[in-house]
């Protein structure tokens, strides 16, 4: 640094500006440059997300006197008819769960396909899924007839979401939703809405908010619905007057079917079609890079990729899904509207592909059994 300054401050000839003033001006510019360099660079997205967990202590009380909670309580009272005392009693003593924030930044959907799918599709999962198809054959007949969704996809989602009910999650949902609303800025507004939906569904179904357990993302039951999805899509299929996604198999598979049905699932239509190990046109690369938001007409895709494709029902458009078969090996598939319906359940293309793969294996087992 000393040698650099000496070079900068060396007297030079300059008409009209005294050397002394030049030195002062140069020092000012240097001070400004050093000041700019000293300002920390903005954190990368991943660093910002990790910071949420680093800035809180596990068990730290949530400040229900803060402005965000005052606004929340005001909305719950004004719009939804909750009493202030009821809210204070419900929220009093709620604390931050730091582990929730840590897990939110290490989700499996970010893993490459070759690491992702073996976690969910194991021989044991396939065997049990085939057993569920046999065990609940008559129920699934009725659900298929009512909602128009193939049974193997219902059982596949059931298996991946909760291991057919064995893994419903041990996080207290009310604490989880408050943690994500209060201490996870990236999705705070989303979880504010989920917190409201959760309180409403608990009131509607006579459930103690503090008694529900589920995942670190705020999902619960064997369907792993988030609160807004439960209120919108859960159904009472066994006729007992309750929408029970915790213990009623009829309600569980029918609720999954209702969700896909509402997103225009077409019975018997393609879910995905293979495109090969590479894309043959730069326009297809651009569509693929947009993920599930990238849509292209099935006929244009067939023309550019030089493959034969079946028609895409409903919208006529498909997505292009890239799957990492290995560190240096890619596979591409066309995600049809039925595939897109699965991504409405979980926004990850890898998740939708895992459901599709498991459903194929379950269906293959059912055919083997019949033959």
Catalytic residue ranges: 161
CA dist., res. 324 & res. 125, Å (int) = 22
Structure tokens at 24: 């002062």
Which residues, in sequence order, are bridge partners of residue 82?
none
Which letter does DSSP use for residue 297 in this model? Answer: E
CA dist., res. 256 & res. 246, Å (int) = 13
Q: Which of 366, 351, 323 is nearest to 161 (CA)?
A: 351
Structure tokens at 327: 């560190």
Let me know: does 179 contact 104? Beta carbons within 8 Å: no
CA dist., res. 31 & res. 105, Å (int) = 39
Dihedral of the alpha carbons of 143, 146, 152, 158, in degrees to the nearest 10: -60
CA dist., res. 234 & res. 221, Å (int) = 11
Let me know: does 276 contact 334? Beta carbons within 8 Å: no
């Amino acid at each position: 640094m000393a040698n650099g300054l000496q070079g900068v401050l060396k007297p030079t000839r300059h008409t009209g500006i005294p050397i002394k003033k030049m030195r002062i001006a140069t020092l000012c510019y240097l001070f400004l440059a050093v000041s700019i360099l000293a300002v920390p660079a903005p954190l990368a997205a991943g660093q910002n997300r990790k910071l949420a967990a680093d800035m809180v202590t596990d068990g730290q009380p949530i400040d229900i006197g803060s402005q965000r909670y005052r606004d929340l309580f005001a909305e719950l009272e004004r719009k939804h008819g909750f009493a202030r005392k009821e809210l204070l009693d419900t929220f009093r003593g709620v604390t931050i769960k730091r582990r929730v924030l840590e897990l939110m930044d290490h989700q499996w959907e970010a893993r490459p396909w070759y690491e992702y799918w073996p976690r969910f599709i194991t021989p044991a999962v396939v065997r049990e899924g085939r057993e569920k198809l046999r065990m609940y054959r008559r129920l699934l007949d009725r659900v298929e007839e009512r909602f128009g969704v193939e049974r193997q996809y219902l059982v596949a989602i059931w298996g991946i979401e909760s291991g057919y009910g064995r893994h419903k999650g041990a996080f207290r949902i009310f604490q989880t939703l408050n943690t994500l609303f209060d201490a996870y800025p990236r999705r705070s507004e989303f979880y504010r809405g989920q917190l409201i939906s959760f309180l409403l569904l608990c009131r509607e179904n006579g459930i103690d908010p503090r008694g529900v357990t589920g995942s670190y993302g705020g999902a619960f039951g064997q369907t792993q619905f988030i609160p807004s999805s439960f209120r919108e899509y859960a159904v009472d299929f066994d006729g007992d007057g309750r929408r029970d996604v915790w213990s009623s198999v009829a309600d569980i598979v029918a609720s999954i079917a209702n969700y896909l049905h509402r997103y225009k699932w077409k019975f018997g239509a393609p879910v995905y079609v293979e495109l090969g190990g590479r894309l043959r046109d730069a326009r297809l690369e651009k569509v693929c890079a947009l993920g599930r938001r990238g849509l292209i007409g099935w006929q244009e895709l067939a023309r550019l990729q030089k493959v034969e494709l079946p028609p895409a029902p409903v919208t006529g458009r498909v997505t292009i899904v890239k799957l990492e078969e290995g560190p240096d090996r890619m596979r591409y598939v066309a995600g049809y509207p039925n595939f897109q319906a699965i991504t409405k359940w979980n926004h990850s293309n890898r998740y939708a592909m895992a459901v599709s793969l498991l459903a194929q294996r379950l269906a293959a087992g059912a055919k083997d059994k019949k033959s």
